[in-house]
Amino acid sequence: MAAKNVPEVVLNSGEKMPAIGYGTATPPPLSALIDAIKIGYRHFDTASFYNTEELLGQSVSKALEEGLIKNRDEVFITSKLWCTDAHHDLVLPALKTTLKKLGLEYVDLYLIHWPVRLKQDAVGFNGEDTIPIDIKGVWEAMEEGHRLGLAKSIGVSNFGAKKLSLLLENAKITPAVNQVEMSPSWNQGKLREFCKEKGIHVSAWSPLGAYKDPWGSASVMDNPILHEIAEAKKKSVAQIILRWIYQHGVSALVKSFNKERMKQNIEIFDWELNHEESDKINQIPQTRTLKAEMFISESGPYKSLEELWDGDV
């Protein structure tokens, strides 16, 4: 499935997922998605909330037409259940809507976007709109989506260890993936260890610290340690970060509309960081970039960031 130069990770579902994915949280032009396929990307990440499912579906259709890929199975598509649909009875209709928008019969991976439920009529984020989520009921419906063949693998996103433990108490299927923020500035050491014990693959969003995003930080891309290592190895800072993530057994989601950077971001598999370089990166001070205060409310289920993130703030 993956291009020759991108290795795959085997998920606990038995499915294979390319170790680098192309993210669409910032809507890319159709031409960038086609360029990504030409360059060798085979894993594409979208979500109901991003409003990019139709666009991604169009790009897969166009790639098939142009012979860039021979069949649907050559691409790995991830999408996510939005918080307004985080209820047992709303999961399957939401998944079917996602498939309709993508123009596909199944997604390769379907994730619960947040361990959060919002009122059905909520627009955007507002702590006042958060209501208690029944993780057991939502996960049961996710499992049903898998059984029906609508999602080859199922998982979660932004779940801490306590919430994962709660889900696992009743789960018949262990989540295949936990997609979380991870970068040298937020290395998720404890959570990665927990997921490893449970056989859950960790996937990193915003590996570059959401550089140049309105909510992001330049602290990762401007870090002097990373610049020093990049210069010594004649690589870009982004390549150093992505290689560091890969060496931790984690897959990464990248986004760039620049062809050269898109190429660089998947050229990280024929060289490695040595122990000394990895250790230096592991010493970088830790701070979470997206704290998600928007889900915190005195009247809601999460009254503090500690509650939302299971104490890992």
Q: Which residues are annotated as a binding site?
A: 113
Q: What's the CA gap between 136 and 166, in Å, rounded?
A: 8
Q: What's the CA gap between 132 and 115, in Å, rounded?
A: 10
What tokens were used for 83? 């918080």
Options 22, 41, 50, 110, the catalytic residue: 50
What are the φ and ψ backbone dihedral angles of 32, each rounded to 5 degrees? -70, -40
Residue with tokens 């998605």: 33
What tokens were used for 202? 């960790």
Neighbours of 152 (CB within 10 A): 19
Q: What's the CA gap between 190 and 188, in Å, rounded?
A: 6
DSSP string spanning 195-207? HHHHTPEEEEEST
The distance of Cα 285 from the centroid of its chain, to the nearest Å, equals 23
Answer yes or no: 302 catalytic: no
Q: What's the CA gap between 137 and 169, in Å, rounded?
A: 12
Q: What's the CA gap between 306 and 313, in Å, rounded?
A: 6
Among 81, 80, 79, 16, residue whose Cα is nearest residue 42 = 16
Q: Are 178 and 213 in contact (CB under 8 A)?
A: no
Q: What's the CA gap between 219 and 236, in Å, rounded?
A: 16
Beta-carbon contacts of 160 under 8 Å, excluding residues fewer than 6 positions away, are 115, 191, 309, 310, 311, 312
Q: What's the CA gap between 151 and 153, in Å, rounded?
A: 5
Q: Which residues are annotated as a binding site for substrate?
A: 113
Catalytic residue IDs: 50
